[in-house]
A = this chain, B = another copy of it.
Amino acid sequence: MTTEHDDRMDRFRARQRAQERNLFGRIAAAALASRTQAKRLLKSVGNLSITEWRILWDLAEAGPLTVTEMASIQRTDHALISRTIPTMLEKGYVTAATGARDRRVSLVTLTPAGQSVFDETSTIMSQRREAVANAFSEVELDRFLALIDRFEQFVEDPVLSTLDIEGTG
């Protein structure tokens, strides 16, 4: 006999299987797992938040940058960077100066202390990137990035946002 409980378990498992092919959910889960891994790695070597690490990395690689430039590189909101800079100023990892030719911008520069923290942290983070480079061949990476490109175009398409207007008209 099929109990109510068994029946419920069957429906649960069916739902779980179905959601395994939900691209939105799968990408979200993968991104969050990735973020969690980065967080743990950063914690294992020091005291940096992910946002702080990304800022240090950008500045170490590209030299002084504005808030907007870093947000653009990281494909994130400028508010996130803007809010993190004061903490990093206090810690002495960066300095900030008003732009010479454009006085709206805030040019952020890595200090020797910031460079030192970056050096200590970059080892483990480089190993991570190396490991993922070993896990995917160049060709696979190209394909993966192409699919992500298309997905990103899809979710950034404003047309979908107006579907409801047609639907309710």
Interface residues of A (CB under 8 A from B): 5, 8, 11-12, 14-16, 18-38, 40-41, 44-45, 58, 61-65, 69, 72-76, 101, 123-124, 127-129, 131-132, 135-136, 140-141, 143-145, 147-148, 150-152, 154-156, 160-161, 163-165, 167
Contacts and interface: CB of A to CB of B under 8 A. Distances in A.
User: Chain copies in the assembly?
Assistant: 2
A34 B155 contact: yes
Nearest to A64: B8
A44 B164 CA distance: 7
A147 B20 CA distance: 13
B65 A12 contact: yes
A73 B84 CA distance: 34
B19 A27 contact: no
A104 to B, nearest CB: 14
